[in-house]
Amino acid sequence: MPLDNKTLSEVIKQAKSKAGEKKFNQTIDLILDIIEIDMKSPEGRIQEVVELPHDTGKPNKICVIASGEFALKAKNANADYVLDRADLESLNGKKKELRKIANTHDIFISEAPLMPLVGKILGPVLGPRGKMPIPVPPNADIGALINKHRKTVVVRMRNQPIIQVPVGSQQMTDEDIAENIMTVLRVLDGKLKRGLKNVKYVFVKTSMGEPVKIKP
């Protein structure tokens, strides 16, 4: 079955029909079963930040780690949380608070000069979650970066040959979700050794629904 917008729109429609009557806007996930990959080699470790063409309806929560004027600009740009150097240093060793910050934010952006301190204090909780901060120079346009990363997803494969990534929500049109999926697939086509030939099955499912399978 071809992986094109028309096919994906039909599959998304089926997945939505299997969602059940839930009183919340369910997330729609793309799940890929990867084959013929050596998980112990670099090709078995994929982590790509992908900007989707359409907002999923559930924008990422963004934490910015910065100092001085850069921190002020981040607050003015409506970052969900801003940590300055003093805040960061005060969290050193406070595992419960660090885990809470890691679990309640999707994307972390750090002023580059603070990265060594970030790695020391936040690294142990962010690293295993695949959320290490994106370093940016102090003169970066933080407002534009926040807007961009509101609709990014992290495409990640670790330990198991499975990739699962949110690509939309029930309230989005099937066509917009299909375009988001195609964006992720194009990135993987360039990252996997044999492109999409390394994908055995594609599944689309809602949070609470049954998956719908496509064989590429």
Domains 5-57+152-214 and 62-149 belong to one CATH topology: no
H helix intervals, 56-173: 68-76, 85-90, 95-104, 115-121, 123-126, 142-149
| Structural domain boundaries in the chain | 5-57+152-214, 62-149
DSSP string, 15-41: HHHTS-S-SS--EEEEEEEE-S--TTS
| 65, two tokens | 């780690």
| Ordered per-residue pLDDT tens for the chain, 216 residues | 567 888 899 889 999 888 777 778 899 999 999 999 888 888 778 888 899 999 888 889 999 999 999 999 999 999 999 999 999 999 998 999 999 999 999 999 999 999 999 999 999 999 988 899 999 999 999 999 999 999 899 898 888 899 999 999 998 999 999 999 999 999 999 988 888 899 999 999 998 888 998 876
Pairing of strands 81-83, 107-111: unpaired
Domain 5-57+152-214 has CATH 3.30.190.20: yes
